Structure 1
Amino acid sequence: MVIRKYKDNVDKSLALICALLLFGCNSPVETADSHLQKGKDFIEKGELDKAFLELKSANQSDDKRGETYYYMALLDEKANNYKAMKQNLIRALELDESLVDAKIKLGKLHVLFGDLEKALEQAKAVMAKDSDNLEARIIEASVYVKQEKADQAEKIVQQLLKNNQDNVDVLSLAAALAYKANRTAEALNLIEKGLSKDGKNIALRLFRVKINAANSDVDKVIEDYKSLVGLYPDNNNFKLSLASIYSMTDKLDSAESLLRDVIDKEGYKPDSEITLLEFLNAKAKDRVPVEYESMVNRHQRQTAPIVELSKWMMANGFIDAAKNGLEKVVAFEGNSDLGLTAQVLIAETSMLAKQYDGTKGIVDQMLASNPEFVPAKLLRARLLLVENNPDEAVTLLNKLVWDKANLDEVYALLGQAYQVKKDRKTADKYFKQALEVNPVNLVAFTNTFSSYILAGQRDIARQVLDKALKLKPNQINFLISQAELDIIEKRWDQAQDVVHKIALFSKEKAVPIYLQANVLQGRGKYTDAIGLYEKILQEFPGHINSLINLARSYDASGQKEKAVFYLEKHHEKYPDSSAIVGVLTDVYLGNKDYKKAQKLLTGQIDRFPKSVSSYLALAKVQVLSGENGESVRQTYLKGLQVNPDDLQLALALAGFYEQANEKLNAKKIYEELLDRHPDVDVAINNLSSLLLESDNQDDLGKGMTLAERIKDSDNPYFQDTYAWALVRSGKVAEGLKLLEELVIKEPKLPEVRYHLGIAHFHSGNKATAVSELKQAIALSDRQKKGFSGQDLAKKMLIEIEHSVTK
């Protein structure tokens, strides 16, 4: 009975389940289909949030299909979230490789991200089944355009134009090819045709802006941006770009009106208000305090924006106005965190005014009432650095690291403290940590970005810059860094766009003019560039980079004599400028006109007997013109008579003695120099190198001691000296290891190859020793530059080879 009853219950349950399946319950596949269809319907209606929820539900079911991910990618596209779009398209194709539209979309994204081979792969996958697929052919041509394969791209585009003369993408590609081939009029005609089909096409309109800007047709650029602002009134970037052009053409009222419109549209946010303040600071500085006061009154009890605005005012020198605004914050906030922050900033205004005792008093008072308030401790650390007390500052800052508050400021100050301690490596480490916390920390950015540029690590510098610009796209320091990097990398179109922005915010009008001249020079428009450099030199006669680039532009346009004529006249007008003398000397040297160079520099020394640069330049001229060594020696000695404590002249004379094989004289100068300036790394390195060449044990010991002081340097010559010191002191294996690491980083330094060869010889590796010594000598011959130990290297090479043949 029990068994039968149990069976009856099971049968009833099964029947109920079947009924539910038939009438009320869907399978996972049907559920996914339902959600997917609803998602499609919502996308069609433009209800994207609802579409996302439905597609997410379809995605979470047991049935995984590529189509769901494809539609999720479409949602990402509408939200401009291209990274997520890319991942969803990849997943869609993993699940269903037949999705042609997904392949096309992914191919276009690969072009956007610069993954050109991957883009070509998607295009060819589509064309394998449909050789005439228009979208795939467009991707293929786009890749060839990006790869500078103009002939292959042109062939495809011309084929496509035959049957697709109204296709905007095809017309865009044809315009791009025409522009790259310097067929500007044709490119503009193709753009016009494309815009007649799609008048709101942003890419085509911006392409036309680029061409008109490259042609310096400012009126047309203004019209282009006015059209974009009219078509897209909510896009503030177009307004800022138009304001920039207005600023460059001195239409300041129009520029200001656009900036105020941006503030109004964004609801009076501090960032957009600061943009207006930066513009006024650049164009009408006296109006800044009044505008700031108006902003403070507008925010009234919204004290956080007032603090942000006040920080900007302080950073730009409007101390009294900032202090007034901050006092209103304190009056309203009291001893809240925001009120205390305002009090710290008020104390900082005293420090900026060099009233250090007053600052210290305020900080002590604040810490007495709130011992754990981090901003007050940070200000105390700044005071310690001002007082040149980096060790105490480091102790305080290291304690703050554990608090995890204001970390970017803590790390940036630690970087500055280690700069004061002359520990560049540790300083760099902390600056990088500061940027990881806050990519727009200006102190950390400036130090890190410049160090990457100096090291030739432009890709990493670009990453640091992009992160900063993403958060603060209008910050003038970041914009100037972007323009300079674009110019270094010859990205002329991007540089041009940035120069326009800089014109809006730069306090110095010469800055955007100089950068604009750089762009024109890079594009080969030398006459226009020369005109701008001359304009700068009228206001700043000794601006050395403008002088150098003006001379280079004349030279590149085949007008060397005009460079000489201009610089000689400029020198007559401004005879006191050492910069003009330096550039004119270099031009004379480039023309091998040594007599004129010598006459110019001798005259400069007669007028300015303490001009160190003139003595150094004169010695260089004497060497190049083949004068005897005594003349060069006398030039350095004469310079040191009137500049007895000058490092450059002393180092130059010591270097001259080394070249002349007068090692004792060189050694004496380095020792005297280090007595007066014990931390000059170049003198430490050079004296150490000289001592390490000696067979005297005392000299070797002193050389090793000196080398220890520079062992952590990033300078490859200093690293080589330390490694050589290890070899010379008998620590051959240790020295060999360092030299092998160094030669990988610096394979073209003869000194390193020579020292590596000797280290291998002492380790018993004669064959490797021969190879390295030969490379050292070959590099020296190729570079036409000797190295210390060159004669010994040749002698050892003969001896080793002779011993091997025996």
Structure 2
Amino acid sequence: MQYKSFVITVLTQLMLITLLGACSSSEEQQANYLNRAQEQYDADDSKKARLELRNVLQINPYNPQARYLLALIHAQDANWREVSKNLSLAIEYAPDFIDPRIKMGGLLFRYGPSADEKTLEQADAVLALDPDNADARALRAVVFQRQGEEADAISEAQLALDSVPGHVGASSVMVKVYTDQDAELALAYIDTSIEINPSDSVAKEVKLALLNRQDETAAAIALYNELIADDPENIVYYVRLLAYLSEKDRDDEADALLSSLAISPRDSIDFKIWLAQALNRKNLLDIAENTVKGFIIDYPEEYELRFALSRIYMTSDRTASNNVLREIIALDVDGADAQSARGAIAAFAWMLDNDRATAEAMANEMLVIEEGNHHALQLRAIFRLLDNNNIGAISDLRAVLKSNPTSVASLLMLGEAHTANNSMDLALDAYRSALELSPNDGTGVQKISQLLINQGNYTAAESILISHLEQFPANADAHVLLIESYILQQRWNDALTVTRELEKQDQQLARGVYLRGRVLYASKEYPAAITAFEEVLQLEPSAVEALSYLVNTMLVTGEVSGAEAYLLKHIEAYPQQVHPLELQGSVYLSSGDFDAAIESYRAALLIDPQRGSAQVALGRALQAKGDLLAALKAYDDGLQLWPKNVDLLTLKAGLLEALKRHQDAVDGYNAVLAINEDEVIASNNLAMLLIDYFPSEESFARAFQLTSKFEDTNIAVLLDTRGWLYYHMEDYVSAKRVLKRAVAADGDESIFRFHLGMAYYRLGDNTSAKIELEKSLANDAKFVGSDEASELVKKL
């Protein structure tokens, strides 16, 4: 290699100086450390080489040879910033030092055409020092070849070959120039280079590319095997050969290669792990299993081999896979590999089996051993979010981000946790941080855009979405969010423009047409919307969403018989789909055919007894028919399956109230509020029950707490409840204030006027009281208190 020559030269010079007695102890030390660094580098021990170079640079930070060798070490790790820095320093400290200039020229060439001039500057500087330098000539040649100056490229490459016959870089330029013009000449150049440099893999790589281009399959395979023979532990060549064989439909040869590797000795653990994975991917499971088991016997403490065996079992025997992971835990106990095994068991249990108990147990074990374990904290955060423990989830995610602030996944989850906690500004901060780290992350774009849309900040959302779609026009979810934003702003033409963009994508045609229908429906272009939804059903006949919108649009336009016909046809074609039966039930219910609706809902439940929405609809249909006891049984049947279903609990409580089972109704609403204290219907109905049927200071206090959030609403029924509570608490001034707002919001509701009339009466305003009470009794209205209103009107 070129860089060795400078070390030999420098060391020779230092030895001569030492022999002459002119060398200081500092120079001797630098030479010794540099010599040892070179030896370690040649032995592929970069870590020790770095330590020796550190000693050199502590003595003399301006040592150009140390800087150059350090650049070569950083190049092995592809740390190009450090490579560039150390090469620049080597050139600065020793302008006549040729090797770093050549290396710098090569690095600059990697940066693309914009760096061509700087690349040529380095080559020219070398040629000023050494006019016959083949590396510099080859560097100029590759630049000219990239710039399309083929004559100059050939001239420079030939000068390099004249100086160093078979020079790999110059030969490569000749191959590039002549590949299309004269394939035989191109092959001759690279063959000559390989003959002169038989161990140079770069030359063989160039020939391999040429053979691939010429579709010389047999010759390419032979050359792959030659590269493998030169470096049998290099995994890259096996990977590429296997991919090449697969590309050429020679899978039998690929299988044979893997099978032979399974019985051939290899010392590298990395090679063994790769082989296990490759055998697994090729579905040579028996060979993979036996091979890896053999590796484990030879290397029992190399746990990565056991992980590989676990992955082999994953697709065919999950229990065996978990058992191997548990072996790792038993052997490594509290170590990093045991923690990884626990994490794998937890992840597979949760993601593949929906087994929260096992996943949670593993996560907790991990946290006992290592309280800051990122994977366990993230998993626990998921569970806490599911349990509505948003604060706990936020705490876990902040702990992860404290030590790993660039975790995009944790930031996205933190945004969800803040959203669930109704901390929207904090959620936006989390999503923005995620986007700063990964601007093109589709999930992050969708999360922050959805939140901004929900807040009505359409401009910010659209800016993010449009920018993202410019780079990723196939992201259908981003299109959908942009359409949603336009619909909410009633920007119908803009929304339709975006749907057409989706329709241009073959995979998204039906979705685009469906969204076009949604836009037309929202803009009340009902005939066009019906046409769009019918078009979707022609493209995807089983599309339930399109069917649902089609039916609803037909109902809006009064085409009830058409909606029923579509549903009957669809149900006949897809008898196992549940939602069409629910739709059918709602159509029958809207036309007052309760028996037919009930039949449809029961048919849905026969297909899917676990479908909560159908159970709710069945209860409502029975209640609408007036069969209250049957409705109550339907709600109870549902609650046997879903004891915390808020819809079922609320409906049952309302039905109990209608049955005048007031205490049972109170208990029912309390059960709802125990699950979700913000449920408005339950809060309102419970408060009214307490006021009307359980009047007491304790009941009024509870009702006051339940209705405190109603003061700021404009919903008449909620204002009425609050006002009627003030009345019973004998705060008639507040009662009149709130009840007037209820009547203003809905003056046709008799009971609201009754309550306001009673407030006027208690305040001594008999005239206003009589007016409101008479209005409440109009059309012989009957309500709780109508008899009292009638008697009072007579008195007034």
Structure of greater Rg: 2
- TM-score using structure 1 length: 0.48
- TM-score using structure 2 length: 0.48
Query: Structure with the greater relative contact order (CA < 8 A, sep ≥ 6): 1 or 2?
Result: 1
